[in-house]
Amino acid sequence: MSITNTVVRRPTTIIVIYLLLVALALVVYPNLAVELFPEMDLPMVIVYSTYQGASPETMESRVTKLIESGVSNVGGIKTISSTSSEGVSMVMLEFAYGTDLDKASQSINDNLNLFGDMFPEDATKPSIFKLNTNMMPVMNIALRGSDGQDANELREVVKDFVQNRLERVAGVSSTSINGGQDAFIQVAIDQNRLDAYGLTVSQVAYALNPQNLQVGAGSLIEGDLSYLLRTDAQFSSLNQIEEAMVTSFPKYDAKGNVIGSNVVRLSDIATVSYAYRDATSKVYINGEPGVYISVSKESDANSVQVAKRINDLIVDLNKELPKGMSLEVIVDTTSMIESTINTVYQSLLYGVALVMVVLFIFLRSIKSTLIIGISIPISMLLTVLVMFFMGYSLNLMTLTGLILGLGMTVDSSIVVLENIFRYRERGAKLHAAAILGTKEMIVSITASTLTTVCVFVPMVMLRSNLEMLGEMITPMAGTIIISLLASLIVSVTLIP
């Protein structure tokens, strides 16, 4: 029995199947990731390491060259470039498009572990970063102060109060603060006093380090109770730092006997105060120094939903911020996404309306016109369902594919319906017209649809050969292929 006979003789089964598929598509649609551009794993891996206080020459000889030696035998590398600056080493590896960066990163990590003992003790363990378009922030939020607060004060509020709250929002992966400088405690040593006591800067540092520790001291058991003990020697105020003992000298009496000691405290040789780190960059918002925080989303998160949650949180935070301060969104990339999605909805509605008007003019049948009008959104929902399971997201390229495919999705359905309608005009019965009309056109519409599909298949198959262009257009081509095949299935199974 042919597929046409099956679908015509069992309409209830087919309708139930389509209802289930449509319901599933409506369920997964809100969970479909929404972003500005397709997720692209750029074939670049960065290996980053720091070594406090080291000169560029030292970084080059003791860190950068070791990293280059460790990664040189990793497969698939096209070029290796490195930059060594004061305290920072950065090695950039470019791979061929199509390389599995997860495996490449694991291979890099395994090779660097073999060189672990050769790195300087004070150097940080090399960190591996894969470049991905999801690293781009989806939103920038500025903190404004109307009572004359400077950028450093605003940065402290963002760091202590706003940043943690934003990072707890579902779908947010990371945040970064721009503008202002971080505060730190500065110990300014007077060289003349240091020379008078016969001390060096290294001795002062060595004396202070053990006095700013919190160390576990075991446990104490008393009956059924066990007490955890700790030695808390961390500084909690500037006064405690100033009173820290640096060294001591014995005190003698007139006979030369030791009668005590003279304690040299930090306040005797240095001035302790709060200060701000030197600015490496400055942020101006509307011509005034300011602070903003950039928010990046998780790779599989819906950008629009994440932005909505952040906007809801901003409303709550503005009620809790100190007087005269307020948060304001200055960049929101999801606004373009929402605009594009709205365009797709409008195109869908206009397309359905115009197709139904044209069909009604030629077929003069309300029933036939409604059938085509229903087939369009069903084809679109099936396309969205397949996109979800294939890991596609809603972005500018896939939405463009949906818009381009919208006009082609009704072609097969119109051809089949018009042929069925022609048999009905000749006097054929309902079932016979549906079966004969569909059978007569099934080969033609299949060949026509596959011909169009074959135009886009090479774009998907040759994705790595097209490099960056392939990363951009493959989601669009894939979406068009899915929508065409979905429309073919709908025209053969649902329309009859």
DSSP character string of 298-357? -TTS-HHHHHHHHHHHHHHHHHHSPTTEEEEEEEETHHHHHHHHHHHHHHHHHHHHHHHH
Same domain, 171 and 318: yes
CATH of the domain at 73: 3.30.70.1430
Same domain, 366 and 452: yes
| pTM attached to this predicted model | 0.68
- Residue 1 in this model has a pLDDT that exceeds 70: no
Structural domain span for residue 75: 41-133
- Residue 299 in this model has a pLDDT that exceeds 80: no
Which pLDDT value is given to residue 456? 87
Domain boundary among 133, 166, 193: 133
- Residue 384 in this model has a pLDDT that exceeds 70: yes
Please give the backbone phi and psi of residue 170, each rounded to the nearest 5 degrees, phi first: -60, 130
pLDDT tier for residue 205 given thresholds of 50, 70 and 90: confident
- What does DSSP say about strands 183-189 and 225-232: parallel, antiparallel, or unpaired? unpaired
- Residue 348 in this model has a pLDDT that exceeds 80: no
Separation between Cα atoms, residue 379 and residue 486, nearest integer Å: 6
What percent of the chain stands above pLDDT 70? 97
Which pLDDT value is given to residue 313? 92
Which pLDDT value is given to residue 284? 81
pLDDT tier for residue 69 given thresholds of 50, 70 and 90: confident
Same domain, 373 and 472: yes
Same domain, 473 and 409: yes
CATH of the domain at 253: 3.30.2090.10
Mean pLDDT of 142-160: 83
Separation between Cα atoms, residue 155 and residue 61, nearest integer Å: 37
Same domain, 84 and 146: no
- Residue 387 in this model has a pLDDT that exceeds 60: yes
Separation between Cα atoms, residue 224 and residue 421, nearest integer Å: 89
Label residues 14-28 b or e (16+ Cβ within 10 Å = b): beeebeeeeeebeee
Domain boundary among 241, 276, 311: 276
Better-scored residue on pLDDT, 41 or 80: 80
At 356, list the tokens.
Answer: 């139904």
Which pLDDT value is given to residue 405? 76
Total domains present in the chain: 4
Same domain, 298 and 347: no
Separation between Cα atoms, residue 352 and residue 28, nearest integer Å: 23
Which pLDDT value is given to residue 20? 93
- Of 113, 11, 125, nearest to 70 by C-alpha is 113
> Lowest mean pLDDT: which of 23-27, 81-85, 417-421?
417-421
Separation between Cα atoms, residue 150 and residue 144, nearest integer Å: 10
- Give the distance between the most distant pair of CA atoms in the chain: 135
Same domain, 420 and 395: yes
Same domain, 30 and 174: no
Most confident range (mean pLDDT) of 31-40, 211-220, 472-481 is 472-481
Same domain, 113 and 158: no
Question: Which H/E stretch holds residue 215?
Answer: strand 214-222
| Angle separating helix axes 467-493 and 396-409, nearest 10 degrees | 30
Same domain, 389 and 462: yes
Which pLDDT value is given to residue 459? 84
Separation between Cα atoms, residue 358 and residue 416, nearest integer Å: 16
- Residue 230 in this model has a pLDDT that exceeds 80: no
The β-bridge partners of 175 are 295
CATH of the domain at 24: 1.20.1640.10
Torsion, Cα 304 306 307 311, to 10 degrees, reads 140
Which pLDDT value is given to residue 471? 76
| Angle separating helix axes 396-409 and 334-363, nearest 10 degrees | 0
Domain boundary among 133, 148, 170: 133
Which pLDDT value is given to residue 314? 92
> Lowest mean pLDDT: which of 190-199, 330-339, 362-371?
362-371
Same domain, 474 and 393: yes
At 401, list the tokens.
Answer: 């594919």
What does the DSSP assignment read for 41-89? EEEEEEEEEEBTT--HHHHIIIIIHHHHHHHTT-TTEEEEEEEEETTEE
pLDDT tier for residue 39 given thresholds of 50, 70 and 90: confident
Span 234-261, pLDDT tens digits:
777 888 888 888 888 887 777 777 777 7
Mean pLDDT of 20-24: 92
CATH of the domain at 154: 3.30.70.1320
Span 84-136, pLDDT tens digits:
988 889 999 988 887 888 888 888 888 888 887 788 888 888 888 887 766 77
Mean pLDDT of 342-353: 75
pLDDT tier for residue 310 given thresholds of 50, 70 and 90: very high
Separation between Cα atoms, residue 135 and residue 133, nearest integer Å: 5
pLDDT tier for residue 429 given thresholds of 50, 70 and 90: confident
Mean pLDDT (the chain) is 82
């002062």: which residue's tokens?
204
Which pLDDT value is given to residue 391? 81
Which pLDDT value is given to residue 109? 87
Separation between Cα atoms, residue 119 and residue 415, nearest integer Å: 71
- Residue 74 in this model has a pLDDT that exceeds 80: yes
Separation between Cα atoms, residue 131 and residue 101, nearest integer Å: 10
Same domain, 22 and 107: no
What percent of the chain stands above pLDDT 90? 5
Mean pLDDT of 328-343: 81
Question: Which H/E stretch holds residue 27?
Answer: helix 11-28
- Residue 25 in this model has a pLDDT that exceeds 60: yes
At 90, list the tokens.
Answer: 């950065």
Which pLDDT value is given to residue 306? 87
Contacts of 67 (CB under 8 A, 6+ apart): 47, 49, 82, 89, 91, 112, 115, 126
